[in-house]
Amino acid sequence: MEALMLSSARRVPAIATVACALFVSHLTAQGPAPDPLVKVEGLTKVGDHTYVIPDGNVSLVPNVGIVVGTRATLVIDPGLGRRNGEVILREARRLSPNNELFIASTHFHPEHTTGYVAFPASAKYVNSTTQETEFEQSGAGMIKAFSGRSAVTGELLADAVRRPADVTFDREYALDLGGVRVRFFLVGPTHTRGDTGLFVEGDRVLFAGDVVMNESFLAAGPGSSVKAWLAAFDTFGALEPRTLVPAHGAVGPGTVVAANRAWVQALRDRALALKSQGQSLDETAAAVQKEFQAQHPAWPRANGLAALARSAYEGR
């Protein structure tokens, strides 16, 4: 999959740096935001075994997942830094006091990973080899960039470091928590190379990270692949999820996957049509950005549209 995105492995840190700068500048442009603190008061049960702590539409706060089995508990996206991780850990232990703990992240960005520094050494972190490599190459830079956003983010990330995975996999993995199984699917390069979806069987809850968003455009960057994104939608759709938990924003029905696929397919087709008419890469990206943003003017993350159009134009 890396070959879809890069002509040389040496380009990876540079691409990640550019994407990070774009992301942080986008957040800053939105003006002062609430402190990125996880609020457990909003905890919602979305399945027999599955809970979500919603992000409250606060930047740098993820939708946190907690999946409770009879033997073990999985925490998905443990928040930004130690303080958030401590809050999430307490909630996981409240829901399942005696369970073994596992941690997973939908991608390597700091609000989806660095809360794991609060978890005990006995907790096992499950991650793809791709995401592990991505954090090794670009994680420290992302932490530095996010730390500089405000005094609060700097404090939250003061002791943030990489936590190497205890269990790694290449493309897919299944974790049995006792009475419930969670399946992991590596689907990047989409938002990141290591994007991972997690599907809670039985409950039919899909934690899709930034790969599927509810009433939002997608946070694509220079390394994103439209082909990989469409393939990810197909993988997720085949699971027939009942509930969709995106990385950020409102939880929705599983049909959000098909809705995302439809507009991304339309974007790809439009970019290729403009290319066939002789439009340049830059002209196509600008036109697609304008047209699709006009269709959904209230949707966030419109700055990713041009990157998706460029990917489609270049056939990746």
Q: Identify the pLDDT of residue 1.
A: 29
Mean pLDDT is lowest, of 8-17, 125-134, 181-190, 268-277, for 8-17
- DSSP letter for each residue of the chain: -HHHH-SSGGGHHHHHHHHHHHHHHHHHHT---------GGG-EE-SSSEEEE--TT-TT---EEEEE-SSEEEEES--SHHHHHHHHHHHHHHHSTT-EEEEE-SSSSHHHHGGGGGS-TTSEEEEEHHHHHHHHHHHHHHHHHHHTT-HHHHHHTTT------SEEESSEEEEE-SS-EEEEEE--SSSSTT-EEEEETTTTEEEEETSS-SSS-----TT--HHHHHHHHHHHHHT--SEEEESSS--EETTHHHHHHHHHHHHHHHHHHHHHTT--HHHHHHHHHHHHHHHSTT-S-GGGHHHHHHHHHTT-
Q: Which fold is adopted by the domain 2-313?
A: Metallo-beta-lactamase; Chain A (3.60.15)
Check pLDDT > 70 for residue 19. Answer: no
- The candidate with the shortest Cα–Cα distance to 247, out of 203, 211, 284, 204, is 211
Please give the Cα distance from 119 to 79 (Å, whole number).
12
Find the radius of gyration of the CA atoms of the chain: 19
Q: What is the pLDDT of residues 66-102, one digit of tens each?
A: 999 999 999 999 999 999 999 999 999 999 999 999 9
pLDDT of residue 32: 72
**121 vs 106: CA distance, rounded Å:** 21
User: Is 18's pLDDT higher than 70?
Assistant: no
The whole-number pLDDT of residue 303 equals 96
Distance CA 229, CA 286 (A): 20
Q: Is 141 in contact with 16 (CB distance < 8 Å)?
A: yes
pLDDT tens for each residue of 175-198: 999 999 999 999 999 999 999 999
Q: Where are the domains of the chain?
A: 2-313
Which pLDDT does position 116 carry in this prediction? Answer: 99
pTM of the complete model: 0.90
**pLDDT of amino acid 31:** 57
CA distance 260 to 175: 27
Cβ neighbors of 263 (< 8 A, separation 6 or more) are: 292
